[in-house]
């Protein structure tokens, strides 16, 4: 191992580090269960301060949950019987611009892990830098694309240098939260399912050395339960664990990992209760509600793990929300699967923090395998607040909210990243010099969704979420204005396409065989709302994107955070983004399956006060009133896509 730059060698079992500590996670009776602060393992068991320890874990990512709700969600985890929280860390949220760090609000990781400990739980750190997780570019910040010579997840100098900067800073923040220093963090994950991407052991070893320079806890790798996955992702001296169905995963780990220094106790690194949702007309919500057989499958699988004195991580225990533009996408079967704002994942604790039927079944299961009385009672949760229907009025065109001068002018279009932009929208404007007609092609491929306008009239949408792209035919004459509004619907977080996730237009725009030269680019990241949105004068809606505003009040008695939780829907909307009291709640899209947005009560004002809503509707319908309303019981369904190819 490497600690503080001193090589200690690699052994079959990670070195036990024993540092005196006076604080640590607590048992159900309130007594401390940390005296010397060390965590290691032998061939069969994890060892906490030398005593056998079975990890009964669940995944919960702090950056997907309002900081105000961390404690209540952790209490729900303890009340289900969990003793360990696994957490991804999103690098792109911590360093949105190179060298500019943000550890406030949902990024306040020290407070999160302190709260984990205060609630009697341990933690496993999954820092990446690549974390997958259906998150924007798997956690990579968009600015990596602009570093010369960059090749992510490879033994590449620029990538390792950027990774070192990230892990050094993360280590400086979280070093005190390790068990060796009195904190709750037991282990740290090396990379993330690397065997699904590559098999470069030099890269894995370089990455491991960066982790060891910053973290004192044992390292582990997690990969899918297949030969190529486990052989590619395993590293000498690092515990290997497998994901998926536990019987298959455990057997595969012991069959395909032959290096004895990577063998040890069995941990199901990600036990999938269900799966993520993506926006599409024919995708249904992934849930076990009402699925008795599915619930019984989960209970049976985890009971088998517990009886074998093995360990698991439920992915997800609580999925949370992809606020703002955080949701990523997955490239699969020739199309982009854009992940929904909700990361509910069919989890035992739903997106709003309310327990499901599966939650209670798992609590019953775990209670049979832990000491009597060690699991606290389930905290009561209030119902969701009801909001009267409210109207939204159009105030400002998105095109009028752009800067008065282009952010860049050039012969060829440029990418989002080259303008210093990560998320949102980029408007490309071209004044036609020569008449042209034919099929429009926006660069080498549509990245990701392109709305095409000629003289402010929408003529079509090219959407990468479809296997077959729409064929948008245009006819333009000299002097016409061609606009292409390109939306980043989430950088791909999985597959070999991960290597190049520049957004906007890459390559030339053509109409038929004619290459269009001469472009003005306007950056529309939506990191801040235009000041003209509030208090402007209403105008007539046409084909272009429009900001709408409105407000609502909560009912009497909605005074405490979770009594104010609500779900909002915008049934007349097609696609867009919603802000409540200035906070970006995320995307909505009529195609579903998600038809309502979770609005945490901690972001709302108590009854009697007005909550301001701003909606950016990308495809407004002239003459149609846009309204917002609350949903008493969440429903998941699909609508026809008005832009289907």
Q: Can you name the residues that pair with 590 across neighbouring β-strands?
A: none
pLDDT digits (tens, 9 = 90+) for 79-96: 999 999 999 999 999 999
Of the segments 59-68, 490-499, 551-560, which one has the largest average pLDDT value?
Answer: 59-68
pLDDT at 60 over 90: yes
Chain-centre distance for alpha carbon 156: 25
CB atoms within 10 A of CB 205: 17
Given this model, what pLDDT does residue 445 score? Answer: 87
Q: Can you name the residues that pair with 408 across neighbouring β-strands?
A: 521
pLDDT digits (tens, 9 = 90+) for 135-155: 999 999 999 999 999 999 999
Minimum mean pLDDT range among 67-71, 341-345, 528-532: 528-532
| Residues 25 and 372 sit within 8 Å (Cβ to Cβ) | no
Closest CA to 370 of 37, 83, 24: 83
| Residues 70 and 57 sit within 8 Å (Cβ to Cβ) | no
pLDDT at 19 over 80: no
Given this model, what pLDDT does residue 220 score? Answer: 98
- What is the distance between the alpha carbons of residues 36 and 47, in angstroms, rounded to a whole number? 12
Topology given in CATH for the domain delimited by 43-368: TIM Barrel (3.20.20)
Closest CA to 208 of 155, 247, 250: 155
- Radius of gyration of the chain measured on its C-alpha atoms: 25
**Res. 534 pLDDT band, cuts 50 70 90:** low
Q: Tally the C-alpha atoms within 13 A of residue 73's C-alpha that lie toward its C-beta.
A: 31
pLDDT at 6 over 90: no
pLDDT at 298 over 90: yes
Angle at alpha carbon of residue 153, lines to 147 and 158, rounded to 5°: 30
Closest CA to 620 of 573, 562, 579: 573
By DSSP bridging, strand 122-126 and strand 185-189 are parallel
| Residues 423 and 577 sit within 8 Å (Cβ to Cβ) | no
Q: Where are the domains of the chain?
A: 43-368, 390-395+530-630, 412-517
Structure tokens at 257: 């990992």
pLDDT digits (tens, 9 = 90+) for 376-402: 999 999 999 999 999 999 999 999 999
CA dihedral 235, 237, 242, 246 (to 10 degrees): 160
**Res. 20 pLDDT band, cuts 50 70 90:** very low
Given this model, what pLDDT does residue 283 score? Answer: 93
Burial class (CB in 10 A: 0-12, 13-18, 19+), 6: exposed
What share of the chain in percent tops pLDDT 90? Answer: 88
pLDDT at 180 over 90: yes
CATH of 390-395+530-630, one of 3.40.50.1100, 2.60.120.260, 3.40.50.720, 1.10.357.10: 2.60.120.260
Closest CA to 608 of 645, 554, 565, 567: 554
- What is the distance between the alpha carbons of residues 90 and 490, in angstroms, rounded to a whole number? 14
Q: Tell me the average pLDDT across 598-605.
A: 96
pLDDT digits (tens, 9 = 90+) for 611-642: 999 999 999 999 999 999 999 889 999 999 99
**Res. 3 pLDDT band, cuts 50 70 90:** very low
Given this model, what pLDDT does residue 446 score? Answer: 86
Given this model, what pLDDT does residue 533 score? Answer: 58
- What is the distance between the alpha carbons of residues 390 and 630, in angstroms, rounded to a whole number? 10
Given this model, what pLDDT does residue 562 score? Answer: 82
| Residues 181 and 160 sit within 8 Å (Cβ to Cβ) | no
End-to-end CA gap in the chain = 55
Q: Can you name the residues that pair with 337 across neighbouring β-strands?
A: 330
- What is the distance between the alpha carbons of residues 367 and 46, in angstroms, rounded to a whole number? 20
pLDDT at 8 over 60: no
Given this model, what pLDDT does residue 18 score? Answer: 30
- What is the distance between the alpha carbons of residues 373 and 541, in angstroms, rounded to a whole number? 62
Instruction: State phi, psi for 314 to the nearest 5 degrees.
Output: -75, 120
Given this model, what pLDDT does residue 192 score? Answer: 98
pLDDT digits (tens, 9 = 90+) for 233-291: 999 999 999 999 999 999 999 999 999 999 999 999 999 999 999 999 999 999 999 99
pLDDT digits (tens, 9 = 90+) for 24-49: 444 444 334 444 599 999 999 999 99
Whole-model pTM over 0.75:
yes
Q: 3-state SS of 357-398?
A: HHHHHHHHHHHCCCCCCCCCCCCCCCCCCCCCCEEEEEEEEC
State the catalytic residue, choosing from 95, 119, 191, 270: 270
State the catalytic residue, choosing from 119, 134, 136, 193: 193
pLDDT digits (tens, 9 = 90+) for 339-376: 999 999 999 999 999 999 999 999 999 999 999 999 99
Q: Would the CATH topology of 43-368 be identical to that of 390-395+530-630?
A: no
Closest CA to 485 of 437, 429, 409, 445: 429
pLDDT at 132 over 80: yes
CATH of domain 412-517: 2.60.120.260
pLDDT at 106 over 90: yes
Decide: helix, strand or coil at residue 619.
coil
Given this model, what pLDDT does residue 9 score? Answer: 30
pLDDT at 603 over 70: yes
Given this model, what pLDDT does residue 535 score? Answer: 57
- Catalytic annotation on 193? yes
**Contacts for 293 with CB less than 8 Å, ≥ 6 apart:** none
Burial class (CB in 10 A: 0-12, 13-18, 19+), 132: buried
Q: Can you name the residues that pair with 482 across neighbouring β-strands?
A: 430, 454
């Amino acid at each position: 191992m490497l600690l503080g730059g001193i090589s200690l060698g690699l052994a079959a079992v990670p070195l036990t580090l024993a540092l005196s500590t006076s604080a640590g996670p607590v048992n159900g009776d309130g007594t401390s269960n940390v005296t010397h602060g060390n965590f290691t393992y032998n061939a069969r068991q994890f060892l906490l301060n030398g005593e056998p320890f079975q990890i009964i874990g669940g995944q919960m990512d702090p950056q997907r949950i309002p900081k105000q709700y961390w404690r209540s969600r952790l209490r729900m985890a303890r009340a289900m019987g969990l003793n360990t929280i696994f957490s991804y860390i999103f690098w792109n949220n911590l360093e949105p611009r190179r060298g500019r760090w943000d550890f406030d609000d949902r990024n306040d990781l020290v407070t999160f892990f302190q709260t984990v400990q205060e609630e009697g739980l341990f933690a496993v750190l999954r820092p990446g830098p690549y974390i997958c997780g259906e998150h924007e570019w798997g956690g990579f910040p968009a600015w990596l694309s602009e570093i010369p010579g960059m090749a992510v997840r490879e033994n590449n100098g620029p990538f390792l240098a950027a990774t070192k900067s990230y892990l050094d800073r993360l280590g400086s923040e979280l070093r005190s939260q390790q068990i060796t220093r009195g904190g709750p963090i037991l282990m740290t994950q090396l990379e993330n399912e690397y065997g699904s991407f590559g098999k470069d052991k030099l890269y894995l070893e370089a990455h491991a050395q960066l982790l060891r320079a910053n973290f004192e806890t044992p390292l582990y790798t997690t990969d899918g339960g297949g030969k190529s996955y486990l052989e590619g992702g395993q590293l000498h001296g690092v515990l290997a664990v497998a994901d998926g169905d536990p019987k298959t995963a455990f057997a595969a780990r012991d069959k395909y990992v032959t290096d004895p220094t990577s063998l040890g106790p069995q941990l199901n690194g990600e036990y999938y209760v269900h799966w993520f949702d993506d926006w599409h007309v024919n995708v249904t919500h992934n849930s076990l509600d009402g699925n008795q057989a599915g619930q019984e499958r989960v209970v049976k699988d985890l009971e088998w793990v517990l009886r074998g004195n093995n360990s698991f991580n439920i992915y997800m225990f609580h999925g949370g929300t992809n606020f703002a533009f955080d949701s990523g996408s997955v490239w699969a079967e020739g199309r982009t699967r854009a992940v929904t704002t909700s990361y509910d994942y069919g989890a035992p604790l739903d997106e709003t923090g309310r327990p499901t039927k599966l939650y209670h079944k798992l609590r019953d299961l775990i209670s049979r395998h832990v000491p009597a009385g060690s699991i606290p009672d389930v905290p009561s949760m209030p119902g969701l607040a009801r909001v009267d229907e409210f109207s939204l009025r159009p105030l400002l065109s998105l095109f009028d909210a752009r800067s008065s001068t282009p952010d860049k002018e050039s012969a060829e279009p440029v990418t989002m990243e080259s303008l210093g932009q990560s998320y949102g929208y980029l408007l490309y404007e071209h004044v036609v010099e020569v008449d042209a007609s034919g099929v429009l092609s926006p660069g080498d491929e549509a990245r990701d969704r392109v709305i095409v306008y000629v003289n402010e009239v929408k003529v079509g949408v090219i959407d990468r979420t479809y296997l077959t792209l729409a064929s948008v035919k245009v006819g333009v004459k000299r002097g016409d204005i061609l606009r292409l509004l390109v939306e980043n619907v989430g950088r791909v977080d999985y597959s070999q396409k991960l290597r190049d996730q520049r957004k906007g237009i890459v390559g030339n725009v053509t109409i038929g065989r004619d290459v269009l030269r001469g472009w003005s680019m306007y950056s529309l990241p939506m990191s801040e709302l235009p000041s003209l949105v509030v208090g402007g004068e209403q105008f007539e809606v046409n084909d272009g994107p429009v900001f709408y505003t409105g407000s609502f009040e909560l009912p009497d008695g909605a005074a405490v955070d979770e009594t104010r939780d609500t779900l909002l829907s915008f049934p007349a909307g097609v696609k867009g983004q919603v802000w409540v009291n200035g906070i970006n709640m995320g995307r909505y899209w009529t195609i579903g399956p998600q038809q309502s947005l979770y609005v945490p009560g901690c972001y709302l004002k108590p009854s009697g006060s007005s909550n301001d809503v701003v909606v950016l509707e990308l495809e407004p319908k002239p003459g149609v009133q846009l309204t917002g309303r609350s949903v008493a019981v969440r429903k998941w369904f699909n609508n026809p896509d008005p832009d289907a190819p």
